[in-house]
Structure 1
Amino acid sequence: MASWRNYFLDIYLIVRAIIQGYYHLYFEIRSSIRPLEDPLTRKNEYAVITGGNRGIGWETAKILAESGMKVIIGCRDGPSREQLFKSIQEAKLPSGSIEWINLDMSSMDSVRSFAQAILDKDVPISLLINNAGKGSSPYSETADGFESLFATNYLGHFLLAHLLMPRLLAAGKPGQSARIVNVSSKAQALGWFNINDLQSKSFYNPMYAYSRSKLALIMFTKILDEHLSRNNKSVKPYAVHPGIIYTSIWDSYWLTHYVYRATGFLFKTAEEGAQRIVYAALSQGIEDLSGNYFEDSNVTKPAAVACNRKIQEMLWEKSCQLLDISNFGGLN
């Protein structure tokens, strides 16, 4: 019976994703990019971005470096690192403006090592952009025993924010808080989240798994903002959908691959998507809008489940349990 149920759920999710995808693409075509109201002059401040070696991540890192920030990029060694170094050379950025540290978001040990390397620098971090992500793909588990999409897209970033919180707190000040930008996705609109099956033991669908990880980032953003505000801390979290943009994620699943082949010419560019992330990262106009989810640089209401306070709390508690965190960021 369960196998038949899962079969029909697969079909339902595919049909729903296709309908929603084209609906959202229509509005994406009509949307525009909102420029920053303020000049980008952030000299000598430090930013950390995961997955900044290509696509939206690289374009974001480049804008930040051009603003004067010192950018620490986390990505894997090997081809990813080589691609990053090649892009840095071609962009002719100021010497020392971008630094690479090895990071595999699917490995919690790698996330801890990455964070420790940053902590050892003993510099305040004005900005953390949780950008790295894995697209819809067949079921697999990480070395830690976590479902890989949930681990890479959400758990690793939850852990990284916890570990870097002392440096973010050191950088933030009233009126110009340090910021955390969680790169979510319009895929969250599927709106289905089983809090009792975070590792997809009873049911796995690639699009559902991706959507769930992006919903989790929004819920994390909302409840983290509550914790920070309650403790009167000058760190502001935001969740952002950068737009419907081609990245390698579209090639990770047969359905998204063919959707891109058919409609990719209508997508926004990686540079345009990066501008939306930078807007959330640096715009002074949204200083008091933390905890929100942004689409097209505007506060947007996400799927109803992401606003469910009980599920937010349960996800927070389960995440802390899975990662053995007793006091997130030292906030309590």
Structure 2
Amino acid sequence: MSCCSQTFIDLFVFIKMLILSTKFLISEACSSIRPLQNPLKREKEYAVITGGNRGIGWFTVKGLVESGMKVIVGCRDGPSKDLLYKSVEQAGFPTGSVEWINLDMSSMDSVRAFGQAILDKNVPISLLINNAGIMFTPYALTKDGFESQFAVNYLGHFLLTHLLMPRLLTAGTKDQPARIINLSSTAHAFGWFEINDLQAKTHYNKIGAYSQSKSAQIMFTKVLDEQLSTENKPVKVYAVHPGFIRSNLYSQTWYAKFVSLTMGFLFKSEEQGAQRVVYFALSPQVEELNGNYFENCNVVKPIALVRNRDTQKKLWETSCQLLDISKFGGL
């Protein structure tokens, strides 16, 4: 691809992002947070969340603990771990209600070690929230050779879900299935998805790579939920956009900072974003809405590219190949 062609594509994606983001922001400003009505108390049940040490992740942990759940949080050792335990102490949570296990989503070895550590506990997992993510980062390949946004936002969560599926199946029942919540984004609507170049070896675009990773989460949700439903397994899957949230994700690029500074008053808080996540984690009202993508707690049809069945199937097969998975989750 020529330099001129790359520049044109980057400009086009940037303009498309500005137009769609403005549209979505206006919609966000007009939306309200749906309250969690009559949530089930979940004492003695276990939840797993990636990246639960700050932002939406932390407030999600807080909501789950308040429901009675024990929460296993995966985040990096060092400052991330320290921040988590400081927040736990300040919240005054009961001893043992939150447990930390080291996790680096950019490393598939770390994801495997995290999953194995949970399996070794031999406890049923009622809820898995694939929350950790990065946005608009410079081009980088992980040590596994994967583009970083694709690895952290999607591929690592694909692997973790595969590893923990046996525990989710054990915890779920016909009356109360286990749940998997995949955090996606309206950014999928930017329409960037290179199924034949998922690692961006031909051309890298920060915005496009983020869009691609969030599109992948929606496609993953659809295919996995269909497999589980076909086999009458007691696990349900949801893809959720938590909203435009005031968070440190908007510090990666000058244009993200500009949007945050000029239009941040339209954003929701991290706690409000977490309320949407907790709604799908615990609300009985969404029990039969599995397999869908949601914005503001409402079912929304993703763009046609994401709904393409051939692309969904090829992404699934490619993901299994990249991770050397012969039978996903033992299904």
* Structure-1-length-normalised TM-score: 0.98
Matched residue of 1:68: which SS?
A: coil
Structure 1 Cα separation of the partners of residues 299 and 58 of structure 2: 24
Shift, 1:39, TM fit? 3.0
Q: Partner of 2:280 in structure 1?
A: 280
Which runs of structure 2 are paired with 1:1-16 in the superposition (5 Å)? 2-16=2-16
Which moved further from structure 2: 213-222 or 294-303? 294-303
Structure 1 Cα separation of the partners of residues 149 and 136 of structure 2: 8
Structure 2 Cα separation of the partners of residues 304 and 279 of structure 1: 27
Contact 1:51–1:131 under 8 Å retained in 2: yes
Structure 1 Cα separation of the partners of residues 19 and 175 of structure 2: 42
Shift, 1:40, TM fit? 4.5
Q: Amino acid of the residue matched to residue 127 of structure 2? A: L
Which moved further from structure 2: 36-45 or 286-295? 36-45
Structure 1 Cα separation of the partners of residues 195 and 22 of structure 2: 28
Matched residue of 2:82: which SS?
A: helix
Q: Amino acid of the residue matched to residue 68 of structure 1? A: G
Q: Partner of 1:74 in structure 2?
A: 74
Matched residue of 1:126: which SS?
A: strand
Matched residue of 1:127: which SS?
A: strand
Q: Partner of 2:265 in structure 1?
A: 265
Q: Partner of 2:327 in structure 1?
A: 327
State yes or no: 1:256 paired with 2:256.
yes
Q: Partner of 2:108 in structure 1?
A: 108
Q: Amino acid of the residue matched to residue 81 of structure 1? A: K
Give the RMSD, CA atoms, in angstroms.
0.8
Which runs of structure 2 are paired with 1:80-99 in the superposition (5 Å)? 80-99=80-99
- Structure 1: give runs of 5+ residues left out of the alignment: none
Q: Partner of 1:140 in structure 2?
A: 140
Q: Partner of 2:120 in structure 1?
A: 120
Structure 1 Cα separation of the partners of residues 164 and 212 of structure 2: 24
Q: Amino acid of the residue matched to residue 329 of structure 1? A: G
Structure 1 Cα separation of the partners of residues 96 and 329 of structure 2: 29
Q: Partner of 1:183 in structure 2?
A: 183
Which moved further from structure 2: 250-259 or 75-84? 250-259
Shift, 1:230, TM fit? 1.3
Which runs of structure 2 are paired with 1:12-27 in the superposition (5 Å)? 12-27=12-27
Matched residue of 1:13: which SS?
A: helix
| Percent identical residues | 63
Which runs of structure 2 are paired with 1:182-331 in the superposition (5 Å)? 182-331=182-331
Q: Partner of 1:167 in structure 2?
A: 167
Structure 1 Cα separation of the partners of residues 259 and 285 of structure 2: 35
Contact 2:106–2:142 under 8 Å retained in 1: yes
* Structure-2-length-normalised TM-score: 0.99
1:286 and 1:39, CA in 2 relative to 1: closer, same or farther beyond 3 A?
closer
Q: Partner of 1:47 in structure 2?
A: 47
Shift, 1:2, TM fit? 2.2
Structure 1 Cα separation of the partners of residues 127 and 240 of structure 2: 14
Which moved further from structure 2: 81-90 or 161-170? 81-90
Matched residue of 2:121: which SS?
A: coil
Shift, 1:37, TM fit? 2.2
Structure 1 Cα separation of the partners of residues 236 and 252 of structure 2: 32
Structure 2 Cα separation of the partners of residues 102 and 190 of structure 1: 33
Structure 1 Cα separation of the partners of residues 252 and 133 of structure 2: 11
Structure 2 Cα separation of the partners of residues 307 and 61 of structure 1: 31
Matched residue of 2:143: which SS?
A: coil
Q: Amino acid of the residue matched to residue 213 of structure 1? A: S
Q: Amino acid of the residue matched to residue 139 of structure 2? A: Y
Q: Amino acid of the residue matched to residue 76 of structure 2? A: R
Contact 2:49–2:73 under 8 Å retained in 1: yes
Structure 2 Cα separation of the partners of residues 177 and 122 of structure 1: 18
Contact 1:191–1:304 under 8 Å retained in 2: no
Contact 1:183–1:242 under 8 Å retained in 2: yes
Q: Number of paired residues?
A: 331
Structure 2 Cα separation of the partners of residues 51 and 151 of structure 1: 14
Contact 1:106–1:156 under 8 Å retained in 2: yes
Structure 2 Cα separation of the partners of residues 191 and 32 of structure 1: 27
Matched residue of 2:223: which SS?
A: helix
Q: Amino acid of the residue matched to residue 77 of structure 1? A: D
Runs of 4+ in 1 over 2 A off after TM superposition: none
Matched residue of 2:168: which SS?
A: helix
Q: Amino acid of the residue matched to residue 154 of structure 1? A: Y
